[in-house]
């Protein structure tokens, strides 16, 4: 049995990305396959990208074009020895991903209202064990100079509502 060269998940993901892109095992879609394979492997490692998919796609293109060779970090890895490409890709993946938080959080409806309020949404009109989810918009007065600005609520949907101190349950939105 041949010992594995890379034993950590990032080294394995880097090898997978680099290998598929550079070895061209398929007639077409090697970069896309490498990109999706790495996303799948990161998911299995309970990691997700901190950067946009576009930035990760752009990095995949850089790998295919050896464009990261200009990076200072890569130059240092070249001086250290073997497989600087894999080490650089592993560094990039480690730096640009985060652990997926799978903990269970308990949130009350009062806390949910506070969270939604920060993003321009609200919980209003509790009635018959339901409450409306709305988007808030401030409407200006004439020419925006006279009078008070009023807040309009645009209804997005409804959720079950047992009371402000009760725990929010997962479920679907009723419209």
Distance CA 21, CA 124 (A): 52
Q: Which of 12-26, 68-82, 102-116 has the lowest mean pLDDT?
A: 68-82
For residues 132-142, average pLDDT: 80
Mean of the per-residue pLDDT values for the chain?
87
Cα 51 to the center of its chain, rounded Å: 7
> Is the pLDDT confidence value at 127 over 60?
yes
* Residue 150 DSSP SS3: strand
Tokens matching residue 166: 């009760």
What 8-state DSSP symbol labels residue 174? B
Q: Extract the tokens encoding 41.
A: 């492997």
Cβ neighbourhood burial of 20 (10 Å; 0-12, 13-18, 19+): buried
Q: What is the rounded CA–CA span in Å between residue 80 and residue 160?
A: 60
**Tens of pLDDT, residues 52-66:** 989 999 999 999 998
Which pTM was predicted?
Answer: 0.62
pLDDT band at 175 (very low <50, low <70, confident <90, very high): very low
d(CA 28, CA 26): 5
* Sheet with 130-139: strands ordered across: 121-127, 130-139, 150-160
């Amino acid at each position: 049995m041949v010992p594995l060269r890379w034993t950590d998940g990032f080294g394995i993901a880097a090898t997978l990305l680099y290998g598929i892109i550079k070895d061209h095992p398929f007639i077409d879609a090697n970069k896309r396959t490498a990109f999706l394979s790495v996303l799948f492997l990161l998911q299995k490692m309970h990691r997700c990208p901190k950067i946009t998919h576009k930035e990760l796609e752009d990095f995949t293109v850089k790998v295919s074009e050896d464009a990261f060779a200009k990076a200072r970090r890569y130059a240092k890895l070249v001086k250290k020895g073997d497989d600087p490409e894999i080490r650089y890709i592993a560094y990039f993946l480690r730096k640009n991903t985060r652990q997926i938080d799978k903990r269970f959080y308990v949130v009350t409806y009062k806390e949910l209202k506070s969270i939604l309020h920060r993003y321009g949404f609200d919980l209003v009109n509790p009635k018959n064990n339901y409450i409306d989810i709305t988007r808030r918009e401030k409407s200006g007065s004439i020419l925006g100079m006279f009078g008070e600005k009023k807040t309009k609520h645009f209804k997005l949907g409804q959720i079950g509502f047992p009371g402000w101190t009760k725990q929010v349950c997962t479920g679907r939105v009723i419209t």
